Amino acid sequence: MAESAITDDMRASVGVEGPEMISEVTSTGCRLFARAVGHTDLIFYDREVARQRGYRDVVAPPGFLGSLIFRPGERPEMGGQTPLKTPYRRVLNGGTTFEYFEPLCAGDVVHSRSKVTEYQERQGSIGPMLITFRETSYVRSDGTLVAKMYGNLINY
């Protein structure tokens, strides 16, 4: 690689949390997500079954951390952050993993914040790549950390 695609602004952004995003966990959202990904456990669908098994309400299935609260004029997929300016035209999701600490249930409100943890440059089979590693923390409105998401995007 000749010149680095990692700018001083990008280096300065590592570890800096972006704006808070707020999501709501609803019973309908839990049911729709569970159905879409093929979960059959009734805790994701039936409030009484969930309560009998010790949960407060319908349980949010793995991968569902609520639906962002819509705010007109805001691009919720960006979390209010400015997109990266890179010399690359294409973007690929390089993978996402979740770490869960507490279950989420219908009625929960979740506050999340994301940060870039690292940038890496690599040479791929079709040319240079910029890999952006991100971490997002999800905190229930009572202050309990419920999950973390670790993901990376590949610009090439």
Report pLDDT digits (tens) over 73-124.
876 555 545 667 888 999 999 999 999 999 999 999 999 999 999 999 999 8
Report pLDDT digits (tens) over 127-149.
999 999 999 999 999 999 999 99
Range of the domain at 34: 26-64
Q: Are 105 and 25 in contact (CB under 8 A)?
A: yes
144 and 86, same structural domain?
Answer: yes
98 and 58, same structural domain?
Answer: no
Average pLDDT in the chain:
92
55 and 120, same structural domain?
Answer: no
Q: What is the CATH number of the domain that holds 146?
A: 3.10.129.10
Per-residue pLDDT at 67 exceeds 80: yes
Per-residue pLDDT at 2 exceeds 80: no
What phi, psi does 35 have (nearest 5°)?
A: -65, -40
Strand blocks (E) in the chain: 21-24, 67-68, 91-100, 109-124, 127-140, 145-155
